[in-house]
Structure 1
């Protein structure tokens, strides 16, 4: 049965806020009881300030948060809730979570899809399959079959139904960036390209479990992988299955521009020249990235999850995005 994320959000918000109100009322009732027991009515405060109530309270936007909540670390917004949903979706893409079972699924070093299927109640009918090779590309278009935005749409269909996909994408996009001028799909892709990793690092206190491969500021190639599923041959696979095809794609697009220039008018030529400059910069950036990936592939680096992110993350140099 098709479901709207908006309806789920409103129900969640009502439940969370009712819990907040109940806890606040309970704490104030306890204050009143103890004030009466110790004959201190009128001498000690009964009311509990909003900022001291230690459970979540959800507001649609940051602008709606009253001054009385300033300093409360449990306050959340609609965007926070949608970011959490996206994080869960990425977890399902990697197999850390599943729509079919509760709790963690793949969380042991070197886990694969085989271990995922072994934990499913019905391996022949899985609601949403994780990526087989532990790679989620985040490029400026859906170049790869397991493009992260494409998989996010598949997740929404699996979780909420195909009929509500467009409306759910619009709700997600509006929550992420209400003022965005592009389509919902463009907004979601921009979020994955520019903001997801920062939000993930914030959630995990600068110890991310999904690591971002980043070729550089020109955006020639980005991809996520899950540290628990990392294996020493990862970079060899990344190089041949992703980096090389992306290099070929850039060469093909530059060839197309060169072929189109002869028939273009003045304005078209200017646009083509601008695009050519952008692609050439990406090509140079990706060439350097490929050399670094090649070196890592040759090293076959192993990691030990017990050493944690702080020890393992620096092993891969600057092919990984900086943790800020």
Structure 2
């Protein structure tokens, strides 16, 4: 049955806010009881300030948050909840979570899709097979992260509401363009930053990142890392992306010769962007090649910080 994310959000907001109100009322009742026990009625405060209630309170936008809540680290917005939903979806894409089974699925070092299928034999949504989710500014790959997310929304909430749900997600994220473009921009620019904040600068989804030109990015799940991952990343993804850039550049160079005026200017801008991205990706490929040849091992017991540092030349900076 088709379902609206908007309805799920409203139901969750009502539940969370009712829980907030109940906890606040309980704390104030306890204050009243203890004030009576110790004969301190009128001498100690009974009311609990909103900013000191330690459970989530959800507002649709940041602008709606009253002054009384400022300083409460549990306050959340609709965007926060949608970002959490996207994070869960990525977890499903990489096999950490499943729509069919509660709790963690793949959480051991070197886990594979076969290990996932052993626990979830007939999954509603099947995780990415090779543990590489490319993030590019256009849909170049079959397992593109935006395509995966769209499919996850379709499988989870139904075909009939797919476009409405994507619009709702995009509206919560904010941005310009079609819903899919807004969602793509979020993955390219903001997902990893939000993930690092959620995991206190100890990300479990690692972002391979060629640089500021967004020539190539890809997410991998550290628990599924194997020493041959960088070699596969290089040959199956980076090389393919380089070839696509070369093809696009050649096509636009031909078109540029026949264009004039505004069209020629537009093509020129597109060519500069693609050439910059190709140059960036070429430099990135050399770094990946150097590390891939080393067949680097990781040990989850060493923690994220130690393991992440082994690939710092090709991974996004943690901020």
* 1:174 pairs with 2:184: no
Which consecutive unaligned segments of at least 5 residues does structure 1 have? none
Q: How far apart, CA to CA, are the structure 2 residues paired with 1:126 and 1:77?
A: 31
Gaps of 5+ in 2: none
In structure 2, distance between residues paired with 1:57 and 1:110 = 38
Scaled by the length of structure 2, what TM-score is found? 0.99
RMSD: 0.8
How far the C-alpha of 1:276 sits from its partner, in A, is 1.1
- Distance in 2, matches of 1:70 and 1:155, equals 35
Offset of 1:297 from its aligned partner? 1.1
Which of residues 140, 147, 156 is equivalent to 2:153?
156
Q: Which of the numbers 248, 252, 255 marks the counterpart of 1:260?
A: 255
Counterpart Cα distance in 1 of 2:113 and 2:140 = 23
| Alpha-carbon separation, structure 2, partners of 1:100 and 1:185 | 26
String of CA shifts for 1:224-264, please: whole Å, max 9, x gaps.
00000000000111111001110110110011012212321
CA distance in 2, matches of 1:38, 1:167: 57
Task: Tell me, in whole angstroms, the C-alpha distance in 2 between the residues paired with 1:262 and 1:6.
Answer: 49
| 3-state SS in 2 of match to 1:262 | helix
Q: Which residue of 1 aligns with 2:113?
A: 113
Deviation at 1:99, TM superposition (A): 0.1
1:190 is aligned to 185
**Cα deviation code 1:140-186 (max 9, x no counterpart):** 11110110000000110111111111111111111111xx2311111
| Structure 2 counterpart of 1:139 | 136
State the 4+ residue runs in structure 1 displaced beyond 2 angstroms.
Answer: none
CA positional deviation for 1:94: 0.3
Aligned to 2:74: 74
Q: What are the within-5 Å matches in structure 2 for residues 1-324 of structure 1?
A: 1-120=1-120, 123=121, 125-177=122-174, 180-324=175-319
Aligned-residue offset at 1:281: 1.1
CA separation in 1, counterparts of 2:231 and 2:38?
Answer: 72
TM-score (norm 1): 0.97
Whole-Å separation in 2 of the counterparts to 1:102 and 1:171: 26
CA displacement 1:14-64 (0-9 Å, x = unmatched): 000000101111111111111112211111111111111111100001111
